[in-house]
Amino acid sequence: MKNFDVIVVGSGIAGLNFALKSAEKSYRVLVITKSKIDDTGTRLAQGGIAAAIADYDHYKQHFNDTLEAGAFHNDKKAVTYLVKHGKEAIERLLEVGVKFNKKDGQLLLTREGGHRQRRVAFVADYTGLAIEEALVASVHKNKRITVLENTFVAELLIKNKKCYGVQILRDKKFENIFAKVTALATGGVGQIFEHTTNPGISTGDGLALAFRAGCKFKDLEFIQFHPTVFKFRGQTSFLISEAVRGEGAFLLNSKGKRFMVGKHPLAELAPRDIVARAIFEEEKNGSGFLDFRHKTTDYLQNRFPQIYKELAKSGFKMKKDLIPISPAAHYLCGGIKVDLKGKTSVKNLYAFGETACTGVHGANRLASNSLLEAIVFTNNVPKVNHSAFANRHSEFISESNHEILKPPQGGAQQVQDDATTTQKHQLAALRTNLQKTMWRNVGIVRNSTDLKKALKFAQSLLKKIHNAQTKESLELRNMAHAALLITKAALARKKSLGCHFTTI
Ligand code: SIN
C-alpha cells in the first residue's frame, strides 16, 4: 500500500479518467477520495459536454465562442487543443459506457449560454451522474487501480520542489504514501461561498495542497456564478441547468419582462457572467424567474426529469409556475497553473479538471467546456520513470524534515484526540462565517474595501486553526487557504474582466 506509480487525489471525471488511462499503461494506481468515490462535483453536472461534432459546426466556431465567453483572456494554444480534441473526448466517454441521448443513432445536441451552435452532448439533465457512474464502474473493474475512500490528503510530500506522494489521514492515523506521479483532481471551491451549486466536498483542497507545496497559480479571481439556482423561501438549493434556456426557457423579472432582451444579442443565452450580473441587478427590485410554461408537460418531464421532480418536491410545476432563481458560486475558472500535459510548477505533481488552470476558460468558462477539459487533458498520461523511483523514495525518507510534515512525521501515527463535539461545533461556526464573508465580500460584484475585509477574515481564521489535526480542521484550513488565494487574486485585478466584476 505504501508505493504506487500514480496517486490520484479526487474521484470526479478528471481523476477517474486519469486513473483509468494510467492503468491502461500498466501503472499501479491509487485513487484517494475524502468521501465516497461518487461523491463529486461531476455527479451534479447537468447540462453536458461541448464538442464541435455536428456537420454544421466547426472547432473554429467552438474556439471563437470559448474566447468570447472568456473575455479573450484565454490561452489560445490551450483552447485550440481543447476544441480540436472534442470528438475524441466524446468517443472516450462512449467507450467507457456513457449512454448519451441519441435519435436515429445520432447524438442529440443541445445549446447553452455563449454557444452559437447546438454542440452539447447530454444524458437528459443528469449528464455528470451518467459519466460518473460509467467511470466508477470501469475503475471498480480495473485490477490495477486501488481506491481509498474516506481518506483525507493532509499534505503533499514535497522536497526540493519535487513531489514524492501524499500524507493521508485515515482512521485517525497519519501515513505517507509514495508515488512517481501525484495528480490533484480535487474539483472546485464552491463551499467557500454561502450560496453554491457545488457539493459539500468542494472545499478547494487541491488549491490549498498546491499552495503549501509551492505551486504557481493562475486566474484565481475568476469565480463563475451560475445564474439559475432554484431559490425557495430565501434559500438557494439545486441547479437548474442552462440547457433549460438552451431549449427555449425565458428569464423574467418581477414585472414579467424578459430583461435579457436588449442586454446581449444572445439574450437569455448570453455568457454566464453577463446573465448572472443581470439577475443580481434585477434582484434589487424583486426576483428573477425562469419561465418554461410554453412547453408541454410531456416534453418537460422527459427532457428535464430530475429538475422537474426536484421542483415538484417544493410544489412548483414547470408547466404552470414561474420558477424563482438566483445566482450561486459554481465554477473556478482559474486554478493551479499547468501546461497542456497537466504539469504543475512542482516536479512529478500534476493537476487536472477544475482545480487546474490550463488557460482554456479565460475570465469566464463557456458552459459545458469543463467536462470536455477534464477528459481532453487527462487522455494523455506522463511516462513514469521506473528506475528513478527507488532513489527518489529513499532520498525523501532520509530527509523528510519538511515543515509541513510536522508533527506527524514519517510512518503511521495516531492523531492524539479526535475533535470533541464542542470543537466540531466551533469549526462548523467558523466555516459558516467564512462562507458568509466570502459571499458578501468576494461575490458577483466586488470592491477593494470588501475584498480587504475578506482577506483579513481568512488570515485571522488561518491563525486560529494553524495547528489543524482532524479532518474537519484540515478541511477548514484548506478552505481558508483557498479563500485567501482567491481574494488576493481579486484584489490584484483592479479592472473588471469576465466574471471578476469590481466597482473600484
Ligand atoms: C448547467 O447545466 O447549466 C451547468 C453546466 C456547466 O456548468 O457547464
Tell me the pLDDT tens digit for each residue of 407-433: 343 344 555 456 688 888 999 999 999
- As a whole number of angstroms, the distance between CA 322 and CA 250 comes to 10
pLDDT interval class at 2 (50, 70, 90): confident
The answer as to whether 279 is a domain residue is yes
Task: Work out how many domains the chain is built from and give that number.
Answer: 1
Grid coordinates representing 465?
486553526
Of ligand 1's atoms, which has the minimum distance to the CA of residue 240? 3
Dump pLDDT digits (tens) for 90-117.
999 999 999 999 999 999 999 999 999 9
Neighbours of 67 (CB within 10 A): 17
Looking at residue 403, its pLDDT comes to 37
Q: Is 224 in the pocket of ligand 1 (CB under 6 A)?
A: no
Q: Is the pLDDT of residue 264 over 80?
A: yes
- As a whole number of angstroms, the distance between CA 153 and CA 438 comes to 24
For range 393-405, the mean pLDDT = 51
- As a whole number of angstroms, the distance between CA 34 and CA 153 comes to 7
Mutation probe of ligand 1 site: the residue of 239, 333, 364 with most atoms within 8 A of C-beta: 239
For residues 96 and 20, is the Cβ–Cβ distance under 8 A? yes
Q: Is the pLDDT of residue 400 over 50?
A: no
For residues 19 and 374, is the Cβ–Cβ distance under 8 A? no
Provide the pairing of β-strand 162-170 with 173-184: antiparallel
The answer as to whether 14 is a domain residue is no
19 compared with 385, residue with greater pLDDT: 19
Q: Whose CA is nearest to atom 1 of ligand 1?
A: 241
pLDDT cut 70: percent of the chain above it: 93
- 466: enclosing H helix or E strand: none
The answer as to whether 68 is a domain residue is no
The answer as to whether 6 is a domain residue is no
The answer as to whether 79 is a domain residue is no
Of ligand 1's atoms, which has the minimum distance to the CA of residue 367? 8
Q: Whose CA is nearest to atom 8 of ligand 1?
A: 368
Looking at residue 414, its pLDDT comes to 53
Q: Whose CA is nearest to atom 5 of ligand 1?
A: 47
Q: Is 288 in the pocket of ligand 1 (CB under 6 A)?
A: no
For range 172-178, the mean pLDDT = 96
pTM for this one? 0.94
Neighbours of 40 (CB within 10 A): 31
- As a whole number of angstroms, the distance between CA 346 and CA 284 comes to 46
pLDDT interval class at 376 (50, 70, 90): very high
For range 276-291, the mean pLDDT = 93
pLDDT interval class at 53 (50, 70, 90): very high
User: Which residue is it, cell 487546474?
Assistant: 356
Q: Is 47 in the pocket of ligand 1 (CB under 6 A)?
A: yes
Distance 205 CA to ligand 1 centre (A): 22
The order of strands in the sheet holding 49-50 is 49-50, 120-121, 109-110
The answer as to whether 321 is a domain residue is yes
pLDDT interval class at 404 (50, 70, 90): very low
pLDDT cut 90: percent of the chain above it: 88
Q: Is 354 in the pocket of ligand 1 (CB under 6 A)?
A: no
For residues 434 and 203, is the Cβ–Cβ distance under 8 A? no
- Residue-number span of the structural domain to which 322 is assigned: 229-328
Q: Is 364 in the pocket of ligand 1 (CB under 6 A)?
A: no
Q: Is 243 in the pocket of ligand 1 (CB under 6 A)?
A: yes
- As a whole number of angstroms, the distance between CA 202 and CA 223 comes to 13
DSSP string computed for 93-152? HHHTT----EETTEEPEE--TT-SS--EE-STT-HHHHHHHHHHHHHHH-TTEEEE-S-E
Distance 359 CA to ligand 1 centre (A): 19
Q: Is 370 in the pocket of ligand 1 (CB under 6 A)?
A: yes
- CATH code: domain of residue 276: 3.90.700.10
The answer as to whether 236 is a domain residue is yes
The answer as to whether 305 is a domain residue is yes
pLDDT interval class at 504 (50, 70, 90): confident
> Looking at the chain, how many residues does it have?
504
Average pLDDT across the chain, whole number: 93
Looking at residue 388, its pLDDT comes to 53
Of ligand 1's atoms, which has the minimum distance to the CA of residue 224? 7
For residues 68 and 114, is the Cβ–Cβ distance under 8 A? yes
Which of 63-67, 194-198, 218-222, 423-427 has the weakest average pLDDT?
423-427
For range 253-259, the mean pLDDT = 95
Q: Is 242 in the pocket of ligand 1 (CB under 6 A)?
A: yes
Distance 458 CA to ligand 1 centre (A): 29
3-class secondary structure, 87: helix
Distance 364 CA to ligand 1 centre (A): 13
Return the active site residues: 272
Q: Is 241 in the pocket of ligand 1 (CB under 6 A)?
A: yes
Looking at residue 393, its pLDDT comes to 62
Distance 143 CA to ligand 1 centre (A): 33
Cis peptide before 407 (omega within 30 of 0): yes
For range 356-370, the mean pLDDT = 97
Q: Is the pLDDT of residue 380 over 80?
A: yes
Of ligand 1's atoms, which has the minimum distance to the CA of residue 113? 3
Looking at residue 398, its pLDDT comes to 53
Q: Is 274 in the pocket of ligand 1 (CB under 6 A)?
A: no
3-class secondary structure, 33: coil
Looking at residue 422, its pLDDT comes to 86
Looking at residue 421, its pLDDT comes to 84
Distance 321 CA to ligand 1 centre (A): 22
